[in-house]
C-alpha cells in the first residue's frame, strides 16, 4: 500500500461474482456517488486466487479486473478463521463450501471438526471474520486495508439473512448472529464515525478515509 493515497473517481469495477458480496459493496459505496459495475456483469473471468493471505488474493482479483477494463477495480477477499482449527478455513472458506456442496454443509463440517477437538463451550469456539479490501488501478497502483470482527461459533446456525457463514457467527457483545441481523445492523457505518460492526464494513471505513473522502 502506498503512502500516497489515490482517490476513487468516476466508474469503479467491483471484482466479484458473488451476489452477496456485490450487494454489500454496492450498499457501502452508494453514499459516495461512485458509479459501479461488477466483474460478473462485464463477463470478466475469475482469476485464480493463488495468494497465501487475504490481502494477496484481494490484490489478485482487483488488479485482474483493472487490467481487463482500464478502470480502477475494487475487490474483497474474506473468510472465517476458527481458533481451535488453527485458523481454518481462513482463505479457503469459499473452497470449503464448494467442496462440501454449500455453506450449510460447510458449517456442519466445521462444527463436527470443532467437536472432535472437544470445543463445545462458547469460550472454546472462538473465531473471527476477516475482510481484506484492495483497490487497484491499471497502472499497478494499489491500496489495501483489512478489517476483523471477533466472536464465537454457534450451533445450530441461526437466521436466514446475510450469506455464507453468517448464521454460524455470533459477534462479541451481541445476542444475535450475523444471519439474524439486518443489512444495516451488520455493516451500516455509524453516522458518528464510530466503528462499524462487520469485518467488511470496518475495512471499508478505513478504505473510505483513504480513497473516497
Q: Which of 76, 77, 111, 166 is catalytic?
A: 77
Strand partners, 171: 151
Comparing CA positions, the residue from 113, 105, 37 lying closest to residue 69 is 37
Query: Which residues lie closer than 8 Å to 78 by C-beta, 6 or more apart?
Result: 21, 54, 93, 129, 130, 131, 132, 199, 200
Asked about 77 being catalytic, the answer comes back as yes
Q: Of how many residues is the chain composed?
A: 213
The Cα 97–Cα 190 span in angstroms is: 32
42 CB-contact burial (10 Å; exposed 0-12 / middle 13-18 / buried 19+): middle
Report yes or no: 132 and 121 within 8 Å, Cβ to Cβ: no
How many helices (DSSP H) and strands (DSSP E) are in the chain? Answer: 7, 6
- Residues marked active site are found at 77
Amino acid at each position: 500500500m502506498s503512502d500516497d493515497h489515490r482517490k476513487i473517481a468516476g466508474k469503479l469495477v467491483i471484482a466479484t461474482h458473488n451476489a452477496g458480496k456485490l450487494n454489500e459493496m454496492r450498499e457501502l459505496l452508494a453514499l459516495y456517488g461512485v458509479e459501479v459495475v461488477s466483474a460478473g456483469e462485464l463477463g470478466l473471468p475469475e482469476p485464480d486466487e493463488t495468494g497465501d493471505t487475504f490481502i494477496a488474493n484481494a490484490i489478485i482479483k482487483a488488479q485482474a479486473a483493472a487490467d481487463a477494463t482500464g478502470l480502477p477495480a475494487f475487490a474483497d477477499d474474506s473468510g472465517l478463521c476458527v481458533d481451535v482449527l488453527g485458523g481454518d478455513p481462513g482463505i479457503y472458506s469459499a473452497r470449503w463450501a464448494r467442496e462440501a456442496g454449500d455453506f450449510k454443509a460447510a458449517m456442519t463440517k466445521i462444527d463436527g471438526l470443532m467437536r472432535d477437538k472437544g470445543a463445545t463451550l462458547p469460550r472454546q469456539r472462538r473465531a473471527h471474520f476477516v475482510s481484506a479490501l484492495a483497490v487497484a488501478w491499471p497502472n499497478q497502483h494499489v491500496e489495501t486495508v483489512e478489517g476483523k470482527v471477533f466472536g464465537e461459533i454457534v450451533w445450530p446456525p441461526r437466521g436466514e439473512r446475510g450469506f455464507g457463514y453468517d448464521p454460524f457467527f455470533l459477534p462479541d457483545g451481541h445476542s444475535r448472529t450475523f444471519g439474524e441481523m439486518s443489512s444495516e445492523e451488520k455493516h451500516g457505518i455509524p453516522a458518528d464515525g464510530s466503528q462499524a460492526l462487520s469485518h467488511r464494513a470496518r475495512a471499508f471505513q478505513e478504505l473510505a478515509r483513504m480513497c473516497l473522502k
